[in-house]
Amino acid sequence: LTKDVYLFGRDDKLADVCFMQAAFHSSVFFRLSKKHFELIKETSDDGEHVVYIKDWSSNGTFVNGELIGKGNKQVVQHNDQIAFPTSENQAYIFLDLEATSKEQEIYPKEIKEKFTISRVLGRGVCGEVRLAFSKGNECNKVAIKIINKRQFSLTDVGDRRDILEEVEILKKLDHPSIVKVFDAVDTPETLYIVLEFIEGGELFDRITSLKKLQEPLSKLYFYQMLVAVKYLHDRGFTHRDLKPENVLLSSSKDDTLIKITDFGICKFVGEQSLMKTLCGTPTYLAPEVLASDGNVPYEKECDCWSLGVILFVCLGGYAPFTERPNNPLKQQVMRGSFSFPEVVWQGISSEAKDLIKKLLNVDPSKRLTVAEALEHPWMKDEEVICKAKKLMEPDSKRTSMAPPTLTPTKRKAESSDSDTSTATKRQKSTDEETAIL
């Protein structure tokens, strides 16, 4: 912020940042106030800055999902999310550029030149994922997966496959229900993978918030999962880590496009290394993988088992295999020991339960393939198929939002260059757009 006060609203005579009607759905635009909110910078005698956000709107301004309230103000901090006129319509992320500059110092030059790294989106066995913004006028959002290579013994270049060649292969995969891989930067200690950013969060969180999914919605999501995994299998890829946390939703709406992520991680960290790591959390792993402690090759049939577990979780709201006294989870998986208690499953169709049983067959040779699952009677729902195909229609905006291309190289040593970011003031705010302030 270069000025002490910035007013945001739809009155172009009053506002420093004016909301333009062409950028919003009409149902949203006319709920915005002429004077919606202010950002106020106060500077103390010792030069320290505090930034407040003050809500002037009738329909609401939200910080991290919490309503400020008309006439009220609160401190806005680094990486806070600002939404209006509803909590779902996240429009800005506030970045404290002093804090951002210090944070950016740890990232390699190839990343810093193209992106401003923001908040943590999630953490998993392979590392954390952070939101990032491409530098320049577009300020497009991407997700950057950060993998600590020491965890997977990948610091010896001579002992691992050519990571950047694998990236080139993954970049060629193009399916509406698969998260796009844009690029990667390989440093001696860390691997950075630049991915498509998906707005709606994880399937796991959606199930948790709703307790479980209704059968028609589960079918809509599962059909898309099957189609996406079939696309991977047909091209020689197995996912190896299918679970609700790796199924992302494109929006907060129920009827939304799903996207599968983390499908190429074993290409970077090594199959055996990944399998041994995942065996520590075996809820979604096939029995043949657990039986070998991750030492057998992971075949396509293993993905089909994981899909069966995911479908069970969607419909039941809990996992089919859970650790119990005198009945270890691993043994339950090895025996395929699960049930459909009437109190939970009484409203679920017999066809859905039959599909789960046929995916959770402990014999891989008798387990349904994804192609066979798509032909199962439960999946032969023309209304759901039509809706799913419409969601999966090619989206021209998806490719146009790609970030600037990196020129990745294997780096011998970390650069000591520091990067100083500059504030970008956006004069036009768009619906569901994130900008750096």
Is the pLDDT confidence value at 160 over 60? no
**Computed from CA positions of residues 325, 329, 333, 336, in that sequence, does the dihedral angle turn out positive or negative?**
positive
Sequence-ordered list of residues with C-beta below 8 angstroms from that of 160, at least 6 positions apart, any chain: 154, 270
Residue 245's nearest CA partner among 367, 387, 331, 129 is 129
Query: pLDDT tens, 208-225?
Result: 999 999 999 999 999 999
Is the pLDDT confidence value at 241 over 60? yes
Burial 175-193 (b: 16+ CB within 10 A, else e): bbbbbbbbbbbbbeebbbb
pTM for this predicted structure: 0.75
Residues 211-219: contacts with CB under 8 Å, at least 24 apart: 211/317, 212/314, 212/315, 212/316, 212/317, 213/314, 213/315, 215/315, 215/347, 215/348, 215/349, 215/352, 216/384, 217/254, 217/255, 218/311, 218/314, 218/315, 218/352, 219/352, 219/378, 219/379, 219/381, 219/384
What per-residue confidence (pLDDT) applies to 394? 65
Distances (CA, A) of 422 to 94, 116, 135, 181: 13, 10, 10, 27
Helix (H) or strand (E) holding 166: helix 163-171
The average confidence (pLDDT) of the chain is: 83
Query: pLDDT tens, 38-77?
Result: 999 988 777 778 899 999 999 999 999 999 999 999 999 8
Q: Which of 55, 96, 183, 241 is catalytic?
A: 241
- Bridge-partner residues for 75, per DSSP? 52
Q: Is 419 a catalytic residue?
A: no
Report all structural domains of the chain as residue ranges with CATH numbers, in order of start: 5-94 (2.60.200.20), 107-196 (3.30.200.20), 201-265+279-393 (1.10.510.10)
Give the number of other Cβ atoms within 10 Å of residue 371's Cβ: 11
Query: pLDDT tens, 87-121?
Result: 988 889 898 877 767 778 889 999 988 998 888 88
